């Protein structure tokens, strides 16, 4: 264990710091429970092998030697906490709960807190504070159910993907391609099972069997898991799992998928989420979204996804599957049926799981400070990478502020570490009509920003890459924090800058420098970008927001009529044709029809250099 700890820390922190931490750890490390537990211990977290008998045995031992005030917590991912707490005396159970962390800890910050019926509220509060102090994002469940919240949804997704293969609808690689490239998971579901921890097929197999024992036919175990276990194909470490692992790494090939395929695979998971809501496992439905994003690294929450595509389409898919397969887990949950009956099917009706308006968005935060409107891109877990829904929300937010007479200038910035890291690559693997719409949404938004009668400032914090820089270039003024970095790296992926980015960069710095920056994909620091005239002001990080706001307020004191006329004159002076930009960018679709962008994006995922085949001849 100590050797593993040192190796893990060395990779992330360097050998010297890892050794210092190891020495600190050795000072508190004990070889026996009796030596480790004294009057100074406040909390004991159990994280041994996922075997309920072993866990119960350990807690019985701990109960006999630990002071009565010590809180007991289990890191089990599946077993009901109530069952584990029964290993202890009745008076201990009030200080017993689940504290479920997610792997890898360095990436996934979520922790689930699962009380039993006996857990005291003060204990829940203490553990929540502890989780926050160590940099975790805690969610507290209302009820103790098998696999809790996040793993329950993960297991439903895993199970459904396996059943879809069993039914002959997809292959393992097709499912992984769909979830990885079209939905945006870091790995495909079967790829993940083969790779995580060297292979975790056995863990999922046991968890699915446990759910089957608890819930019967609602959780039938897909036959493929039993088959893989009997053949000792548990993942990469065993040489085989869902895939054959030889000396070469396996790479999942990108494909173009329609939205219908995502609806097919995700509908049963959304149905399971509805079960959690119906059974009051969560106090706040937003905990489902937080759990999926920060516990599974999902690109977005599934309730928002359902609202986006339409809950009626989710119900239709489930009803078709229920009719065809006659499996109880496909029967649409009452929560979903009620949404359809009450015409609360999502964004199209302004109500679904969430309520939508001009001030309530999924990916955008709007604020107003005096006469300054502030729009924040709010997808920090993905570097504020842009999705079609995000573009539509940005358009609505900007338009609303343009028509708001109390707002005289507008600032666009990002939450988290970055301004915007560009277009989400999942958009490139949608159907052609969706891709065309994505391009038009971006052009429409950036033209609105550029031609707004009010001055718009792009406040660049962190990275502005690809579409993020293209967004900033459409603004009137660009300011940046000292840690900002900008680039148009599309050519590295076998693509070209979109949304008028190439034209706007040429207009800002001249054709020679613009071509150099785009062809090399060179990343510029904030100071370098200022020297080239791309950024107008650079501020220290601790004063960035205040100084940006000061500029916006100064502009707000000016004449809107004069500012609007000046913007109009400048736009007419350069006089480029919107239709020409759009037609030229249709070359993107020609590029996307060949192998180069597929190779470029695949290389990005697998962290290697792309091998382009140059298989297309663009006509000018």
Q: How far apart are CA 163 and CA 156, in angstroms?
A: 10
Peptide bond into 104 cis (omega under 30): yes
Tokens at 264, concatenated: 């097919």
For residue 240, what is the DSSP state? Answer: B
Domain spanning 276-351: which CATH class is it, in words?
Answer: mainly alpha
Within 10 Å of residue 341's Cβ, how many Cβ atoms? Answer: 11
Of 420, 470, 468, 466, nearest to 450 (Cα)? 470
What radius of gyration, in Å, describes the C-alpha atoms of the chain? 27
What are the residue boundaries of the structural domains of the chain, listed by start? 1-30, 35-140, 147-257, 276-351, 364-594
Do 147-257 and 364-594 share a fold?
no
Say how far apart CA 50 and CA 210 lie, in whole Å.
11
CATH node for 147-257: 1.10.1040.10
Which pLDDT score is estimated for 500?
86
The CA dihedral of 607, 612, 616, 619, to the nearest 10 degrees, is 80
173, 174, 191, 490: the active-site residue: 490
Phi, psi of 399 (to 5 degrees): -60, -40
Q: pTM (2 decimals)?
A: 0.91
pLDDT computed for residue 248 by the predictor = 73
Question: Of 365, 165, 178, which Cα lies nearest the Cα of 258?
Answer: 178
Q: CA–CA separation, 415 vs 212, rounded Å?
A: 42
What does the DSSP 8-state code read for residue 492?
G
| CATH fold group of domain 35-140 | Rossmann fold (3.40.50)
CATH topology of domain 364-594: 2-enoyl-CoA Hydratase; Chain A, domain 1 (3.90.226)
Give the pLDDT confidence score for residue 391 in this predicted structure.
Answer: 96
Q: Is 490 a catalytic residue?
A: yes
Whether the CB-CB separation of 472 and 394 falls below 8 Å is answered with no
CA distance 519 to 162: 43
In this prediction, residue 596 carries a pLDDT of 82
Catalytic entry in 173, 470, 585, 599: 470
Q: Using the structure block, give the residue that is written with the tokens 């054709």.
A: 511
Q: What was the pLDDT predicted at 567?
A: 87
- Mark the ranges of the chain whose per-residue pLDDT is less than 50: none
> Residue 430 and residue 415: Cα distance in Å, rounded?
27
The string of pLDDT tens digits covering residues 525-574 is 999 999 999 999 999 999 999 999 999 999 999 999 999 999 888 877 76
Place of tokens 């970055």: 418
């Amino acid at each position: 264990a100590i050797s593993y700890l040192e190796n893990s820390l060395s990779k992330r922190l360097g050998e010297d710091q890892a050794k210092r931490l190891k020495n600190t750890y050795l000072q508190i490390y004990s070889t026996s429970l009796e030596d480790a537990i004294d009057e100074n211990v406040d909390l004991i977290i159990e994280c041994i092998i996922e075997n309920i008998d072993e866990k119960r045995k350990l807690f019985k031992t701990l109960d006999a030697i630990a002071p009565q005030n010590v809180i007991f917590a289990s890191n089990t991912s599946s077993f009901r906490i109530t069952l584990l707490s029964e290993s202890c005396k009745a008076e201990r159970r009030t200080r017993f709960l689940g504290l479920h962390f997610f792997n890898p800890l360095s990436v996934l910050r979520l922790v689930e807190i699962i009380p039993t019926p006996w857990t005291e509220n003060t204990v829940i509060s203490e553990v929540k504070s502890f989780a926050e102090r160590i940099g975790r994002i805690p969610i507290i469940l209302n009820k103790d159910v098998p696999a809790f919240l996040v793993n329950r949804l993960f297991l439903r997704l895993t199970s459904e993907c396996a059943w879809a293969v069993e039914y002959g609808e997809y292959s393992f690689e097709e499912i992984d391609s769909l979830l990885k490239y079209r939905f945006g998971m870091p790995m495909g579901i079967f790829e993940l099972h083969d790779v995580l921890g060297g292979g975790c097929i056995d863990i999922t197999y046991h968890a699915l069997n446990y759910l089957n024992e608890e819930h019967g036919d609602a959780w039938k175990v897909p036959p493929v898991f039993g088959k893989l276990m009997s053949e000792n194909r548990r993942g990469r470490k065993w040489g085989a799992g869902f895939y054959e692992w030889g000396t070469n790494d396996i790479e999942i090939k990108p494909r173009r998928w329609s939205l219908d395929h995502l609806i097919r695979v995700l509908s049963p998971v959304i149905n399971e989420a509805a079960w959690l809501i119906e059974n009051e496992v969560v106090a706040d439905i937003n905990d489902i979204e937080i759990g999926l994003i920060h516990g599974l690294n999902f690109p977005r929450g599934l309730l928002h996804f359902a609202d986006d595509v339409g809950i009626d389409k989710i119900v239709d898919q489930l009803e078709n599957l229920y009719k065809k397969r006659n499996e109880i887990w496909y029967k649409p949950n009452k929560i979903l049926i009620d949404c359809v009956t009450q015409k609360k099917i999502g964004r199209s009706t302004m109500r679904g799981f969430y309520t939508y308006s001009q001030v309530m968005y999924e990916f955008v935060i709007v604020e107003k400070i005096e006469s300054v409107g502030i729009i924040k891109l709010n997808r920090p877990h993905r570097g504020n990478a842009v999705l079609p829904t995000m573009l539509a929300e940005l358009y609505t937010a900007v338009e609303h502020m343009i028509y708001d007479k109390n707002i005289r200038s507008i600032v666009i910035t990002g939450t988290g570490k970055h301004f915007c890291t560009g277009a989400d690559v999942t958009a490139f693997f949608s159907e052609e009509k969706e891709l065309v719409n994505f391009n038009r949404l971006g052009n429409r938004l950036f033209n609105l920003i550029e031609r707004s009668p009010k001055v718009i400032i792009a406040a660049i914090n962190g990275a502005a890459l690809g579409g993020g820089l293209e967004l900033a270039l459409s603004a009137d003024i660009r300011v940046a924090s000292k840690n900002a970095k900008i680039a148009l790296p599309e050519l590295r992926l076998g693509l070209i800058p979109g949304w008028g980015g190439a034209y706007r960069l040429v207009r800002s710095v001249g054709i020679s420098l613009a071509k150099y920056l785009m062809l090399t994909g060179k990343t510029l620091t904030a100071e370098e970008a200022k020297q080239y005239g791309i950024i107008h002001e650079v501020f220290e990080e601790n004063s960035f927001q205040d100084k940006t706001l000061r500029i916006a307020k100064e502009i707000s004191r000016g004449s809107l009529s004069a500012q609007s006329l000046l913007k109009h004159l400048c736009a007419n002076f350069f006089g480029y044709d919107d239709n020409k930009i759009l037609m030229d960018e249709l070359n993107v679709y020609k590029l996307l029809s060949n192998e180069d962008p597929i190779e470029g994006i695949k290389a990005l995922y697998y962290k290697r250099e792309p091998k382009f085949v140059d298989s297309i001849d663009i006509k000018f």
